[in-house]
A and B are shown apart, each in its own frame.
Chain A
Amino acid sequence: MLIQQLVNGLTLGAVYTLLALSFSLVMGILGILNLAIAELFMIGGYLGFTLITAGFPLPVAVLGGMLGAAAIAIAIEKIGYQPLRDAPLVTPMLSTLGFSIILQNVATNIWGSDPAQLPDEYFGKQYALGPINIGEMQLIVLVATVVLVAVVAYIVQKTPMGRALRAVAENREVARILGVSADRLTMLAFILSGSLAGVAGVLIALHYGTITPYLGVEIGLKAIAVMVIGGTRQIWGALVAGPLIGIAEVLTVAYGGSQVRDFVVYGFMILILLLRPQGLLGGARSDQGQRV
């Protein structure tokens, strides 16, 4: 029973990891919270859902959700972030909030506010590993998360593009003086972040087999907590913090009641902010945050 809970928590945590990474790519490099990421996640989920029910295979659905979310992320960067780049931090954050209001309204109008259901035959297969039951989709979520985190880590750590990204994160002006195109990399950060959110959306929608336009709001705030706990400058931080929070959540629901769940998660986040502001694995420091 306990092991089963751990597996379920791990799956939830994997999705948190992807979404937290999506938040932290923008946060770590530009220092702003892109609140629309939660809705990109939801839109990605719907796109994947629609493609699957239309009979397309899973990889197409994942790709569709990813590209759709990335395309919207580009629009957000061009319209909502770029012109407000030198405004106080809260201004671009609220313009991304504007996008999130629009996206949620559009999703409600297209797909309706009632939950969309996936027929049971999709990914309903269960594998028994001794005492644990692990669903086909659960397995896919876990594997996809590990692969995606590895890909992002590779891009950020090993490629020239990633080095440029980290340079901009470190000091935008100096990076520009050294010939890095900060604008192009800002766009890149948004695209990477949007793609991750889209994929995460498809995965969670198919894992739960159901989706509502309010999916993003519920999971988005948690993902921000996971980002803080993992630290915003370390890719691997999210990989540790996601499962940690996922498991903590599932365990508090199982043994403490579902009501105390949020209390535990956000309490932990505040403790981390106060005691270890650079996150579990180190990185950006919160006592050097930019001015609002």
Chain B
Amino acid sequence: MSTYYASLLAESGILLLGALSVYIILATGQLSLGNGAFMGIGAYLSSYLTVALNVPLTLALVIAAIAAGIIGAIVAFPALRLKGIYLAMATVGFGEMVRSFFLNFDAMGGSGGYRGMQHISVGYVWLWAGGILIAVMLLERSRVWLEMQAVHDDETAAGLIGLNTTVTKIGAFGAGAAVAAISGGLFAHHNVYIEPANFGFDRSIEFVLAVILGGSTVGPGSLVGSLLLVFLPEFLRPIADWRLAAFGTLLILVLLVRRQGILDRSLIRTLTFRRAAA
């Protein structure tokens, strides 16, 4: 395997974690368009820990994940008031604010970026990506996931049967943020250079795209989506200048033909478009 393909593979592992971070939050019916920000927090924090404080990488990633998870839960609290597309727009705002913060954070390079991280192998990236994918798939078989699905399907009804919808929604946000932070930490140590522009709106949208394209009803859908998003543009390389246009066209086609994403378990879990019950 050439180093080029190895690096693409690492990229898709990093994207898979980002996609899973959106997937977990989406499972409770909340759309986050700001997960690039949690990725950025994870990237900056873990890089600071390994470069400035000589903390071992794995420990640094865990610390970054916990910190981002706490921030995610804090952010989720006010976000409880918002639903649907308005929540999504608030997360866009949050993402832009965090990006803007790192742009002004001169202690870690500001707009000049931050460097000095040790390069990690593609194997290490996939150890995390694969591990968390399996964890999510195990979670999907648990009672907690059923509760998340209940909140997704009908929050009012879920509350009426005694589920604590607040805890579920905040927990999902925190877990999603933690996963995104690990994605960011791996990104930082794979690219060995980070700058605030890495973690903007484009990144957040890429995560969502991977989930929706791959299939938003099953965990492995994110895997399909991230591999597709990273490798498809490579296969389109022969058409050079027009490859983004071709990519956009394929994206629309996939959505038109399989709106539930490429992978889905069955029609039972297909997200149905319903008007808010409230």
Contact = CB atoms under 8 A, between A and B. Distances in A.
Interface of A: 27, 31-33, 79-80, 83-84, 86-91, 93-95, 97-102, 104-106, 108-109, 221, 224-225, 228, 259-263, 266-267, 269-270, 273-274, 277, 286-292
B208 interface: yes
Contact of A98 (B243, B255, B259): B255
Contacts of A277: 81-82, 86
A10 to B, nearest CB: 23
A105 B208 contact: no
B247 interface: yes
A79 B252 contact: yes
Contacts of B133: none
B97 A270 contact: yes
B267 interface: no
A84 B251 contact: no
B273 A88 contact: yes
B89 A273 contact: yes
B92 interface: yes
B65 to A, nearest CB: 24
A90 B83 contact: no
A291 B96 contact: no
B255 A262 contact: no
Given A259-B103, A291-B274, A94 B255 contact: yes
Given A224-B89, A267-B97, A270-B93, A101 B244 contact: yes
Contacts of B216: 90
Say whether chain B's binding surface is mostly helix, strand, loop, or mixed: helix
Contact of A292 (B26, B111, B241, B243): B26
B6 interface: no
B256 A95 contact: yes
Given A88-B271, A221-B201, A98 B251 contact: yes
Interface string B84-106: 11111110111011011101100
Given A99-B252, A104-B244, A262-B100, A94 B209 contact: yes
B245 interface: yes
Contact of A262 (B88, B97, B243, B259): B97
A228 B96 contact: no
A89 B85 contact: yes
B162 interface: no
Interface string B264-278: 000000011111101
B238 interface: no
B259 A91 contact: yes
Nearest to B97: A266
Given A89-B85, A259-B103, A270-B94, A290 B255 contact: no
Contact of B248 (A32, A99, A109): A99
Interface in B1-36: 26, 29-31
Nearest to B278: A288
Contacts of B274: 291
Given A105-B248, A291-B29, 13 more contacts: A86-B273, A87-B259, A91-B212, A95-B252, A106-B245, A221-B201, A259-B100, A266-B94, A286-B87, A288-B276, A288-B278, A289-B84, A289-B85
A101 B82 contact: no
Contacts of B259: 84, 87, 91
20 contacts: A87-B271, A89-B85, A90-B31, A90-B88, A98-B248, A100-B248, A105-B244, A109-B245, A221-B201, A228-B86, A260-B104, A266-B97, A266-B100, A269-B93, A273-B90, A288-B83, A289-B86, A291-B84, A291-B273, A292-B85
Interface string B236-265: 000001111101110110011001000000
B85 to A, nearest CB: 5
A87 B273 contact: yes
A289 B248 CA distance: 28
Contacts of B212: 90-91, 94
A87 B245 CA distance: 24
Contacts of A93: 85
B170 to A, nearest CB: 16
The 9 closest A-B pairs by CB, nearest first: A289-B84, A286-B86, A101-B248, A102-B248, A105-B244, A266-B93, A98-B251, A98-B252, A289-B83
A287 B79 CA distance: 10
Nearest to B91: A270
Contact of B89 (A88, A228, A262): A228
B122 to A, nearest CB: 27
A263 B100 contact: yes
B85 A33 contact: yes
A225 B84 contact: no
B64 to A, nearest CB: 22
A31 B83 CA distance: 12
A49 B89 CA distance: 31
B75 to A, nearest CB: 10
Given A273-B86, A292-B26, A109 B273 contact: no
B100 A260 contact: yes
Contacts of B84: 31, 89, 286, 289-292
